[in-house]
Amino acid sequence: MDIRLVAEGPWRFRIERDGAMRVPGLVLAPRELLPDEPGDQALRQVADVATLPGIVRASYAMPDIHWGYGFPIGGVAATDVVHGGVVSPGGVGFDISCGVRLLTAHVDRAALLPHLAALMDRLDGLIPRGLGRGGLWDLAGRAELREVLRGGARYAVERGHGVPRDLERCEDGGAVGDADAAQVGERALERGAGQVGSLGSANHFLEVQAVDTVYDETCARAFGLRPGLVCVMIHCGSRGLGHQICADHVRAMDRVMRRYGIEVPDPQLACAPVDSVEGRAYLGAMAAAANFARANRQLLADAARGAFQKATGSGLDLLYDVSHNLAKLERHTGGDGVARPLLCVHRKGATRALPPGHPDLPDALRPFGQPVFVPGTMGTASYVMTGSTANRAFDSCCHGAGRVWSRHRAHRETSPRQVRRELVGAGVAVRPTSWRSVVEEVPEAYKDVDAVVRASEHNDLGRLVARLVPLGVLKG
């Protein structure tokens, strides 16, 4: 199967149908954001995803597309459940329900700066992060872990880790309702038991930020954002539990694909019909991992609130919490105008971005659309966007800057001393567990986040609301 890339204008490309592709691929990025590392297979993955049974409209790639497991990171695909549509764990990835939560402070940048070092030191000693075990919540055995898998952020709030308003500002009200803890294997439970309330490693972080620029004053006001306001952004997911669930269910689906008459060009695209025993088992386990991730971010946010209160006397309000690694059963209208009753929408490294007026949004946000968060990298900006009524990619938007260097290349190209000097020079207070891990996340290892959000807006994936700049970063 050849990759035939055709420009549809300066902001997007089409991969024409070829071979077993059932739909075209649509890469919603200008040429300068296309993957160009030698041997990169991200565009091939877009075409491979287009072969999945039941896929509708197109195999989409967001502007932050890069090479992933099975699906590209930044990949979006919807399958028609009624007409043999499949669910693929590779379309969600190993860090199930990895997502971003943004909280707004009751203090401006100028007032925070004299207390910033003390705040970062307090957070440094408080927030568990890095590889392995260690979390803020000492669970009372397997029974309570299963309560987390069923109740997510709701259970955390019930146990005193947050306030009821938090749940109004979480995707799915803080918990996915069809979670099935019985589909989570013993090894996954073991890996997750000591990790509730921890950041993890790699590109996960807790960042203290300030609003630098407002693009849409009406929407920003509704979101509680104004120039100079301090915010806290938290990016993390389901840790080892989610990773193990993905691995377990990829193997289970690989064993049964032939029984369902399914062939895929890449074994990493192992899948099963949504309405099959294996499909339902994965969705139940995936939802349980999503609830773990939401409880995880809830505990981290609650800890950050305590640190802010002690260091500055300021509270933190949750603006929104949304995943960017998830498969959801949703109702959409097909590109051919046909109303499709139920689609399984895979978003891997792509954020759900509900448009204004959507009934799933809380009343205060419904007129303006769902907040979408696009983190940059250490020392660069992050963005707040909102959903667009013109979105054709199943109400999906980008999720970050998108990696361009491997971690090995980052170590070849730079050093801990150089990174530290640059961040200090930029006025960013960094508290890492290891400067070696920080090197892997240098800005040069990622695409230009400013270009990514511009491309997202040009492709009607979302609208710009505000730009945030870093003041202090906690890294694993």
Catalytic amino acids? 399
What is the rounded CA–CA span in Å between residue 198 and residue 139? 13
Q: How many Cα neighbours within 13 Å face the side chain of 13? A: 21
Q: Please, are residues 84 and 273 in contact by the beta-carbon 8 Å criterion? A: yes
Length of the chain: 476
Sign of the CA dihedral with 12 first, then 17, 19, and 21 last? positive
Number of neighbouring beta carbons within 10 Å of residue 427: 13
Sign of the CA dihedral with 404 first, then 408, 412, and 414 last? positive
Amino acid at 320: Y
Q: Which residue has the tokens 């979480």?
A: 170
Provide the β-strand partners of residue 76: 60, 347
Distances (CA, A) of 199 to 216, 301, 331, 396: 31, 11, 33, 25
Q: Which residue has the tokens 């994965």?
A: 282
Q: Please, are residues 259 and 270 in contact by the beta-carbon 8 Å criterion? A: no
Q: Please, are residues 293 and 149 in contact by the beta-carbon 8 Å criterion? A: no
Cα 237–chain centre separation: 8
Q: Which of 440, 443, 411, 437 is nearest to 425 (CA)?
A: 443
Q: Which two tokens stand for residue 146?
A: 């299963």
Q: Please, are residues 98 and 63 in contact by the beta-carbon 8 Å criterion? A: no
Q: Which residue has the tokens 């290349």?
A: 409
- Strand locations in 215-273 (E): 229-236, 272-273
Amino acid at 281: A
Q: Output the CA torsion 276→264→47→371 (10° steps).
A: 30
Q: Which two tokens stand for residue 325?
A: 């690694």
Q: What 3-state class would DSSP assign to 426?
A: coil
Cα 9–chain centre separation: 28
Task: Output DSSP code: residue 2.
Answer: -
